[in-house]
Chains A and B, each alone.
Chain A
């Protein structure tokens, strides 16, 4: 078990381009989360999956953002028509499905820079 894996680790793109990030959670974890973090701030919740079902989305999540977890394993987060304000670290986390207080296991994040 190698932990939560995120790719790419760094992405530089021009405004208006689309970007996609991938997250591979810990294999036995059925819960998967996407967070966004900017400098000096804590992680901000974006969306949550249990298996392949997207059960919660932040009200802050623009319709330019879409996430999928097609087979309940890896997940992708796509940002369309990127804006400079999208520049941030995008963190993926996974957790066990039992109980409600499970610790989150985070990946190392995908840093997005929009020029």
Chain B
């Protein structure tokens, strides 16, 4: 069955460092992948989209890579700030259906 794995353990880093979050998937051939941020008690907020034919996407301090051979996406936040502390969700989509399939998310804690 399709499976999306994100590190369930919280990632703790120091302010100013680069945070790297991992999203691995199996039994899936997504056409695109999205990353969302979710704060406690709030709905997820879209951050970035990357398609299967793209290797890397950037937006301000955010960078996403997508390796369809490794079946993995990496999400980087450079120069991290305490305000970046949140849960980050990856979501996979394909052209056959409209619904995204979400991973369980990784909680990031940036220490001042």
Taking Cβ atoms with an 8 Å cutoff, the residues of A that contact B are 4, 31, 33, 35, 40-45, 48, 50, 55-56, 91, 93, 100-101, 103-109
CA distance A31 to B91 in the complex (A): 17
Q: How many chain B residues have a CB neighbour from A under 8 Å?
A: 28
In the complex, the chain A residue whose C-beta lies closest to that of B95 is: A100
User: Which residues of chain A are within 8 angstroms of B89 by Cβ–Cβ distance?
Assistant: 42-43
CA distance A31 to B99 in the complex (A): 10
CB of A42 within 8 A of CB of B98, answer no
Q: Which of A31, A35, A43, A107 contacts B98 (CB 8 A)?
A: A31
Stretch at the interface among B13-21, B58-66, B73-81, B102-110: B102-110
A30 to chain B, nearest CB (A): 11
CB of A101 within 8 A of CB of B99, answer no
In the complex, the chain B residue whose C-beta lies closest to that of A97 is: B98
B95 to chain A, nearest CB (A): 5
- Residue-wise, chain B 17-40 has the 8 Å CB interface mask toward A (1 for contact) of 000000000000001101010000
> Which of B31, B95, B98, B101 has the largest number of chain A CB atoms within 10 A?
B98
User: Which residues of chain B are within 8 angstroms of A105 by Cβ–Cβ distance?
Assistant: 46
Q: Which of A4, A44, A103, A109 contacts B34 (CB 8 A)?
A: A103
User: Which residues of chain B are within 8 angstroms of A41 by Cβ–Cβ distance?
Assistant: 104-105
